[in-house]
């Protein structure tokens, strides 16, 4: 790539300019974490030069080690670095807010009009495509992670643990982390992180926050600041869940959602697909906020809206609030919207905590991050867990009435076509889902003519 030499850094960036950018990003952040990170790199590093490539990658490496949506955390980190705490909060919130509003609207259409033949037909085609997407996610994570027999063994053990033994997802993550830690001591070469995200390959000109730009005063680490932020973070979480408990009781739907999705947020190592089995175990099987079929439909909506894929939890919250009619049968939309908002708040709150607490340490040290061996073990286990999710989805899509019922050949063909599009032709997620939905819609209207 040929670039014109640039010798001056961009002018000082105002908070208002940054706010407009983060708002725009929230509406166009399609493509999952890889696409969102690539978009931010193109915008912030190459085009606008708000941050240098090495500082961008340094922040990204930290976010990759955290549970939670790394693209949203990266936006929070850069916003914080440029404009202090409020800059990080605005960047992180605007990365999520447009998706929340869009999903609340789509969830209402789904719950209020989901039995309309046209909408039912769209979801008939989308469900097998989602199954193919989960298989593709397992392959994508596995191809990067499972580099030797040790890691393959962890992945297989994780699949057996959740599929056959039905062990809880947090226990699997904990065991994989311990195995990774021990493995990093016994056979460090087998549990190395494997190269990171690369190094800068070309000069783009001076950036507003360049390689040698002194660390801003607000980004310097101090134990006093760490203690204040920790107290503020824990107080905010306690105030939120305490208010729900005081208003509705500990066993109320909203309170249980807040507690459950706080725990889920701490389990999202390896991306949204990794935590979905945990969400399924809790939201579908234990609390029964929604059905298995609705969970698959929600994942499809999450794939086709901007923002992190973990925003599927907003759909789970909306359906749970609607189904449980938490504000009565005459306020179903309000029930769903409030539940979706509560779930989103408690899912993303830990991400802000991790950045505001840990980023000053990362910025001040500029050292290499450790603790990669446990993360490598967890990521290997995630592959097995995602495969289990694919098996679960395939069962419910191909045999919706159970193994004694009929096999859905049409769904199988749509799923195979979606898999071919993803694996062989490298077609994007949104075109695959749209095409599959249209195929399901066509089948819905053709079936009466063919019978």
Per-residue pLDDT of the chain (451 residues; tens, 9 = 90+): 444 455 665 667 889 999 999 998 888 776 567 667 777 887 888 888 898 877 887 787 678 778 888 889 999 999 999 999 999 999 999 999 999 999 999 899 999 887 777 777 887 888 888 888 888 878 877 887 788 999 999 999 999 998 888 887 778 878 988 898 888 888 887 886 543 444 444 456 787 888 778 888 888 888 999 999 999 999 999 999 999 999 999 999 999 999 999 998 887 765 666 777 888 889 998 999 999 889 888 887 877 778 888 889 999 999 999 999 999 999 999 999 999 999 999 999 999 999 999 888 887 755 444 456 777 787 788 788 888 878 887 888 889 877 888 899 999 999 999 999 989 998 877 788 889 989 998 988 887 776 6
Nearest in space to 127 (alpha carbons), one of 343, 446, 399 = 399
pLDDT at position 78, please?
94
Please indicate, yes or no, whether the overall pTM of this predicted structure exceeds 0.85: no
CA gap 103, 207 in Å, rounded: 36
- Six token digits for residue 356: 């505001």
CA gap 89, 19 in Å, rounded: 10
User: How far from chain centre, in Å, is Cα 90?
Assistant: 19
Distance of CA 146 to CAs 32, 98, 138, 325, Å?
Answer: 21, 36, 11, 45
Distance of CA 304 to CAs 28, 75, 98, 318, 428, Å?
Answer: 11, 21, 13, 17, 11
- Six token digits for residue 438: 């249209």
Q: What are phi and psi of 380, to 5 degrees?
A: -65, -40
Inter-helix orientation angle 70-113/312-324, to 10°: 40
**Bridge partners of residue 209, in order along the sequence:** 51
pLDDT at position 369, please?
41
User: Quick one: residue 114, left, alpha or beta (phi over 0 = left, psi -120 to 50 = alpha)?
Assistant: alpha
pLDDT at position 253, please?
95
Q: Give the other-Cβ count within 10 Å of 339's Cβ.
A: 29
pLDDT at position 367, please?
42
CA gap 87, 15 in Å, rounded: 7
Q: What are phi and psi of 68, to 5 degrees?
A: 115, 175
Handedness of CA 287, 415, 115, 305 (dihedral sign): positive
Distance of CA 293 to CAs 91, 189, 216, 285, 404, Å?
Answer: 34, 42, 49, 12, 18
pLDDT at position 125, please?
87
CA gap 268, 275 in Å, rounded: 5
Collect all residues with Cβ–Cβ distance below 8 Å to 379 and sequence separation of at least 6: 141, 145, 269, 270
**Cα 351–314–33 angle (5° rounding)?**
50
CA gap 167, 170 in Å, rounded: 9
CA gap 350, 264 in Å, rounded: 10
- Six token digits for residue 124: 């008939």
User: Helix, strand, coil shares of the chain as percentages rounded to 5?
Assistant: 75, 0, 25
pLDDT at position 262, please?
94
Q: What are phi and psi of 428, to 5 degrees?
A: -70, 165
User: 71-88 burial by CB neighbour count: b if 16+ within 10 A, else e?
Assistant: bbbbbbbbbbbbbeeebb
pLDDT at position 332, please?
95
Instruction: Name the 3-class secondary structure at 209.
Output: strand
User: How far from chain centre, in Å, is Cα 250?
Assistant: 27
Q: Give the other-Cβ count within 10 Å of 66's Cβ.
A: 20
pLDDT at position 194, please?
47
pLDDT at position 31, please?
55
pLDDT at position 271, please?
63
């Amino acid at each position: 790539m040929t670039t014109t030499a640039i010798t001056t850094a961009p002018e000082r960036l105002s908070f208002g300019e940054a706010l407009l950018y983060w708002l725009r990003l929230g509406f166009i952040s399609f493509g999952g974490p890889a696409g969102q990170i690539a978009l931010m790199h193109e915008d912030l590093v190459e085009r606008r030069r708000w941050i240098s490539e090495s500082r961008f990658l340094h922040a990204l490496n930290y976010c990759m080690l955290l549970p939670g949506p790394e693209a949203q955390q990266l936006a929070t980190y850069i916003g914080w670095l440029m404009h202090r705490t409020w800059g990080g909060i605005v960047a992180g919130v605007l990365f999520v807010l447009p998706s929340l509003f869009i999903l609340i609207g789509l969830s209402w259409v789904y719950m209020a009009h989901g039995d309309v033949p046209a909408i039912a037909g769209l979801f008939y085609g989308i469900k097998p495509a989602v199954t193919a997407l989960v298989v593709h996610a397992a392959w994508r994570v596995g191809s990067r992670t499972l580099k030797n027999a040790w890691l393959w063994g962890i992945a297989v053990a994780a699949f057996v643990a959740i599929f056959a033994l039905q062990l809880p997802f947090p226990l699997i993550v904990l065991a994989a982390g311990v195995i990774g830690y021990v493995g990093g001591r016994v056979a460090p070469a087998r549990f190395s992180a494997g190269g990171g995200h690369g190094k800068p390959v070309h000069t783009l000109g001076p950036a507003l926050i360049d390689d040698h730009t002194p660390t801003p005063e607000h980004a310097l680490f101090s134990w006093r600041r760490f203690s204040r932020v920790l107290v503020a973070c824990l107080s905010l979480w306690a105030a939120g869940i305490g208010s729900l408990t005081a208003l509705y009781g500990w066993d109320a739907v909203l309170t249980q959602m807040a507690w459950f999705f706080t725990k889920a947020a701490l389990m999202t190592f390896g991306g949204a697909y990794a935590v979905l089995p945990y969400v399924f175990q809790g939201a579908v099987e234990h609390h029964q906020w929604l059905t298995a079929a609705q969970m698959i439909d929600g994942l499809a909506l999450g794939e086709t809206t901007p923002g992190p894929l973990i925003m599927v939890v907003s759909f789970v919250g909306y359906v749970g609030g609607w189904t449980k009619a938490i504000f009565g049968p005459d306020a179903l939309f309000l029930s769903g919207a409030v539940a979706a908002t509560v779930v989103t708040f408690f899912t993303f709150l830990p991400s802000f905590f991790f950045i505001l607490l840990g980023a000053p340490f990362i910025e001040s040290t500029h050292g290499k991050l450790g603790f990669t061996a446990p993360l490598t073990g967890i990521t290997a286990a995630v592959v097995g867990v995602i495969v289990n999710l694919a098996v679960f989805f395939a069962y419910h899509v191909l045999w919706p009435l159970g193994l004694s019922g009929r096999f859905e050949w049409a769904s199988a063909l749509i799923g195979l076509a979606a898999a071919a599009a993803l694996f062989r032709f490298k077609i994007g997620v949104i075109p695959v889902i749209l095409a599959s939905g249209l195929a399901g819609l066509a089948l819905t209207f053709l079936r009466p003519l063919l019978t």
